[in-house]
Amino acid sequence: MTQAFQKVAAIRGMNDVLPGVGARWEQFEEIVREWLHAYGYRNLRTPVLEHTRLFARGIGEVTDIVEKEMYTFTDALNGESLTMRPEMTAGIVRASIEHNLLYDRPQRVYSLGPVFRHERPQRGRYRQFHQIDVEALGFAGPDVDAELIIMLARLWKRLGLTDVRLELNSLGQAEERAAHRAALIEHLEKHRDVLDEDGQRRMYSNPLRVLDTKNPAMQAMADSAPKLFDFLGAESRAHFDGVCALLDDAGISYRLNPRLVRGLDYYNLTVFEWVTDRLGSQGTVCGGGRYDGLIELLGGKPAPAVGFAIGMERLLDLWDQTAPAATVPECEIYVVHQGDAAQRLAARVGETLRDAGLSVIVHAGSASFKSQFKRADASGARVAVILGADEVAAQAASIKYLRADGAQGDAQQQVPLAELAQVLKSKG
């Protein structure tokens, strides 16, 4: 006798997307792809697993992600340390170096898919979640920074979102950050008594990140800290002003947030986040910025780059609040049948209708017309095609419009099989 199997549940923080909601995801992804193509972005897909070193180097050893959020394990076959990607930029940059993507021109690429972080699950924070990741590789100017932001504003508009606002900052260049860093460490040393454990540990390794704290006891210290923005030189200022001018032209408002540093080590110049108050405490739907040093840091020929990542679950949550989802029908046409000959005909009719571009479910198995019609209703189809002995004999199909707003009301009509696809396509 086999032993009773203990049911398996999904891993905490990793969600199933059930069919009704899955249809919503598909609608969303369709809008997103159309939007990306409108700006010439092309799809690039990288593996979900990468060597751990890639992220340690590419994201930075002293970051939340690398310090405590990665799913890392040893490959039992060869002892290599592997990591489930916690973000997509590092993998995309690796791929662009490995395949020499930038050898003759810059590249606009995007990737859509799951990423993994070991965080405490709550609304808007999961252990497997999805990102829309967009990267403009090989572009130096403020024009592309602005274009990315303008592009995001277009997506919000397309989705009907109005409550998302833009926060902007500049992290300058390495030398400017070094000068600021010295001043900042001095400030942190002066306020050592209010620093929490993370703060104490990072005050020398990643002092900027200490300011990015959510600890209320450290807010006053963080507010009074020297601001990186005040350390920017003329060129960095000019880049920032360039971005702002283009945003002004596009009618996009923003708030300069000198505390915005983003969690990753590699950013320089422009950084930005789009935030909303409608998602509780996980209100950032998109974060991005320029990372001119990363390609070289990962072993490539030096090239500038800028990009962003959208958290899809958070954006979908927001979209659902703004434009509540209508149920998506399973199909347009549901074929019901009675008798062996009609069932065989139904299979053929289904294929013919699909040839014509219709979405069709042929009732599987046999059942009373009544229960088949119930299924037809539940499917959300707008028309039922009915095949019985009479229809087989007449080489015709009866059609019934299922929706109250259907072209023919409740009436049933017979249509010769040869004309069926055309009739179904032209009406309702």
88 assigned ligand-binding residue: yes
Contact 131, 312 (CB under 8 A): yes
Q: Which is nearer to ligand ATP, 312 or 342 (CB)?
A: 312
Q: How far is the CB of 285 from ligand ATP (least distance, A)?
A: 5
| Strands of the sheet with 305-311, listed across from one edge | 42-43, 107-116, 128-137, 305-311, 284-290, 268-275, 165-170, 254-256
Q: Tell me the number of residues near ligand ATP by CB under 6 A.
A: 18
263 in contact with ligand ATP (CB under 6 A): yes
Instruction: Output the smallest distance, CB 303 to ligand ATP, in A.
Output: 22
Residues 38, 62: Cα–Cα separation, whole Å: 37
408's enclosing H/E stretch is: none
Is there binding between residue 314 and ligand ATP (CB under 6 A)?
Answer: yes
Nearest in space to 383 (alpha carbons), one of 397, 364, 367: 397
167 is in an annotated binding site: no
Binding of ligand ATP at residue 258 (CB under 6 A)?
no
Q: CB nearest ligand ATP: which residue?
A: 311
Secondary structure letter of residue 127 according to DSSP: S
The structure tokens listed for 387 are 């095949």
Nearer to ligand ATP, 88 or 360 (CB): 88
CA angle 134, 43, 275 (to 5 degrees): 25
Question: Which one of residues 50, 87, 317, 332 is an interface residue with ligand ATP (CB under 6 A)?
Answer: 87
Is residue 198 part of the contact set for ligand ATP (CB under 6 A)? no
Distance CA(284)–CA(319), nearest Å, equals 14
188, with CB counted inside 10 A (0-12, 13-18, 19+), is: buried
- For residue 208, which of 132, 263, 157 has the smallest C-alpha distance? 263
Counting contacts by CB under 6 A, is residue 282 touching ligand ATP?
Answer: yes
Is residue 176 close enough to count as binding ligand ATP by CB under 6 A?
no
Which one, 101 or 286, has the nearer CB to ligand ATP? 286
Rounded Cα distance, 148 and 247, in Å:
10
Q: Which of 172, 287, 304, 307 binds ligand ATP (CB under 6 A)?
A: 287
Q: CB nearer to ligand ATP: give 198 or 330.
A: 198
What is the number of other CB atoms lying within 10 angstroms of the CB of residue 101? 20
Quick check: 165 binds ligand ATP (CB under 6 A)?
Answer: no
Among 285, 402, 417, 420, binds ligand ATP (CB under 6 A): 285
Q: Is 314 annotated as a binding residue?
A: no
Distance of alpha carbon 298 from alpha carbon 95, whole angstroms: 11
The answer to whether 55 contacts ligand ATP (rule: CB under 6 A) is no
Give the residue, chosen from 286, 294, 335, 361, that forms a contact with ligand ATP under the rule CB under 6 A. Answer: 286
Does 262 show up as a binding residue in the annotation? yes
Kindly write out the interface string for residues 116-145 of this chain, putting x where it contacts ligand ATP by CB under 6 A and - elsewhere.
Answer: -x-x----xxx--x-x--------------
262: tokens are 């983003």
User: Closest approach of Cβ 110 to ligand ATP, in Å?
Assistant: 14
Q: Binding segment for ligand ATP among 306-314, 332-340, 391-399, 418-426 (CB under 6 A)?
A: 306-314
Q: Could you give the CA distance from residue 215 to residue 196 in angstroms, rounded to a whole number?
A: 8
Contact positions vs ligand ATP (CB under 6 A): 87, 117, 119, 124-126, 129, 131, 263, 282, 284-287, 309, 311, 313-314
